[in-house]
């Protein structure tokens, strides 16, 4: 992880610096998606148009618990993956309550999470849509049925290697992740239109998913 020295020789993590330049996808949203939403749905007020608020990436580590702790190599791989693909430091979540069926006790570390907004979010979505998903084995598109009533979209990836910036030769194990795209002022139809116009590779309308 890149570090630089500030005044007094103190080191600072550079991982949280915003990606350089405005995201191409953000530009497309402003220049193409907004006018298309206004024309198709009649929503001309920009404040009332559907917007992407944040993207949350979550990796469940609870199933790897060894006693009371997650093995160091598991934890380090997951945190490294999330840092590399998001440009931000993830946080480690602890169980809020015990679940005996899953051998989880309150206070145990169970997952790693990173929440992206603004530039980080747009740059990540661009890579997800145009670089990562096409690398999925036997890829035929992402599901059109994974929207909730508020228009938020959820999808899962089976392995971190679909992101070209991840070197699987250095990974100690393979893990998946859940990605949630949160919308404001939206519903399933609006959110699907926004994502599809941006370039999300959904399955074809007549294809089962």
Mean pLDDT lowest among 1-5, 63-67, 82-86, 111-115:
1-5
What are the CA-CA distances from residue 89 to residues 29, 33, 69, 96 (Å)? 26, 30, 20, 22
C-alpha closest to that of 63 among 171, 179, 169, 176: 176
Mean pLDDT lowest among 17-21, 32-36, 71-75, 165-169:
17-21
Stretch (H or E) spanning 180: strand 177-184
Q: How confident is the model over 129-138, as pLDDT tens digits?
A: 999 999 998 8
- CATH of segment(s) 24-30+39-198: 3.30.1440.10
Q: How confident is the model over 87-142, as pLDDT tens digits?
A: 999 999 887 666 555 555 666 788 899 999 999 999 999 999 999 999 998 899 99
What are the residue boundaries of the structural domains of the chain, listed by start?
A: 24-30+39-198
Mean pLDDT lowest among 2-6, 101-105, 190-194:
2-6
Strand partners, 104: 99
Name the one residue in this structure whose structure tokens are 């001309």.
Answer: 44
pLDDT band at 209 (very low <50, low <70, confident <90, very high): low
CA gap 197, 188 in Å, rounded:
14
Stretch (H or E) spanning 181: strand 177-184
Q: 57 and 160 in contact (C-beta within 8 Å)?
A: no
């Amino acid at each position: 992880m890149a570090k630089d020295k500030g005044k007094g020789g103190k080191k600072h993590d550079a991982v949280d610096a915003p990606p350089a330049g405005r995201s191409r996808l953000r530009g497309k949203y402003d220049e193409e998606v907004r006018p298309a939403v206004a024309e198709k749905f009649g929503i001309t007020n920009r404040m009332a148009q559907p917007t992407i608020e944040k993207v949350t990436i979550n990796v469940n580590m609870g199933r790897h618990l060894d006693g009371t702790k997650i093995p160091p190599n598991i934890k380090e791989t997951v945190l490294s993956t999330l840092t590399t693909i998001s440009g931000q430091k993830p946080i480690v979540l602890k169980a809020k309550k015990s679940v005996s069926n899953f051998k989880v006790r309150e206070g145990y570390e169970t997952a790693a999470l990173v929440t992206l907004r603004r530039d980080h979010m747009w740059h990540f979505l661009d890579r997800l849509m145009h670089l990562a998903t096409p690398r999925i084995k036997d890829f035929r598109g992402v599901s059109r049925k994974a929207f909730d009533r508020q228009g938020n979209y959820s999808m899962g990836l089976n392995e971190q290697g679909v992101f070209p910036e991840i070197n699987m030769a250095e990974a100690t194990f393979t893990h998946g992740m859940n990605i949630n795209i949160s919308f404001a002022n939206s519903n399933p139809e609006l959110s699907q239109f926004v994502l599809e116009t941006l370039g999300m590779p959904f399955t074809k309308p007549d294809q089962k998913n």
